[in-house]
Amino acid sequence: MINFRKKKGFVLALTLFVILAISSFSVAMMGIIQKNSQNSIRSHQINTVNQAAEFGLESGRLWLTDQMSRSGTTAITVTNSNNVSISGDCLALHGYTNSANNIHYAFRKINQSFAEIGSESDFGRYTYEFYVQRIGNHTTLNGYNYIPQETEGPDTLSPTVYNSRRIFYRIISCGYGPNLNKIVPLQLYLSAGGDGATGNVARAINIEGYYRP
């Protein structure tokens, strides 16, 4: 009778230990699952914000290509004919921090939706903005005699006035995550024009490189 009670007590203690171990394991597994879910959400948001910023770069490039594709074949210059006061996180991330100045640009789009909220409830929470700027020129294709354009001041060239130099353009873009809690700044450098004798097509757009501030 004594041995039976001892065995019964041992089985009960063992059962409680197993239940406690399983419960602890379940809580740990729940924590791991929640952590992995959070990491997956963060990864998804970061990737989508990057895509929104890249979409802004591509939208700016298409706008510049459209300007170069209009009637005529002679070289043209798209100038910084617009300006706006420097404000917001996006411009600051691209190096514009002096709120006393204005940023000059040729074209911009702000508060652009990455997707239609009605059809894409997830991606519809992501937005982007971009600016197209003329930033400089050089004298020849092989000699990069770089003359920067001051984008915090008026443009130094007149529209459509060209002197056989290759003109550089920059597109600055920002992608925004839900509630604007994530911002990705990207830049795309392009060039167009130049002396046709050196192999440059007057209105052809060349991609010069990408940059992330």
For the segment 155-208, what is each residue's pLDDT rounded down to a tens digit?
Answer: 888 777 666 678 889 999 999 988 777 899 999 999 887 765 555 677 888 898
Give the span between the Cα atoms of 55 and 57, in whole angstroms.
5
Q: Which pair of tokens denotes residue 38?
A: 């959070």
Q: What is the DSSP letter of 179?
A: G
Q: Would you kindly state where each structural domain of the chain is located, as residue ranges?
A: 46-211
Lowest mean pLDDT among 13-22, 26-35, 97-106, 119-128: 26-35
Cβ of 45: how many Cβ atoms within 10 Å? 16
DSSP-assigned beta bridge partners for residue 186: 173
Task: Provide the CA 159 distance to its chain's centre, in angstroms.
Answer: 28
- Give SS3 for 150: coil
The residue that leads in pLDDT, 137 or 176, is 176
The residue that leads in pLDDT, 132 or 16, is 132
Sign of the four-CA dihedral 194, 62, 153, 158: positive
The residue that leads in pLDDT, 169 or 7, is 169
DSSP-assigned beta bridge partners for residue 133: 170
| Residues ≥6 apart with Cβ < 8 Å to 89 | 174, 180, 183
Q: Which pair of tokens denotes residue 163?
A: 């002197």
Cβ of 176: how many Cβ atoms within 10 Å? 24
- Is residue 171 a contact partner of residue 94, using CB atoms and an 8 Å limit? no
Residue type, 200: N
Place of tokens 């802004």: 56
Exposure on the CB side of residue 162, measured as CA atoms within 13 A: 19
* Chain segment 42-62, per-residue pLDDT in tens: 667 788 899 999 999 999 999
Q: Which of 40, 44, 53 is nearest to 184 (CA)?
A: 53
The pair phi, psi for residue 37, each rounded to 5°, is -65, -45
Does residue 91 surpass a pLDDT of 50? yes
Residue type, 174: C
Does residue 41 surpass a pLDDT of 80? no
> Can you tell me the mean pLDDT for 74-90?
90
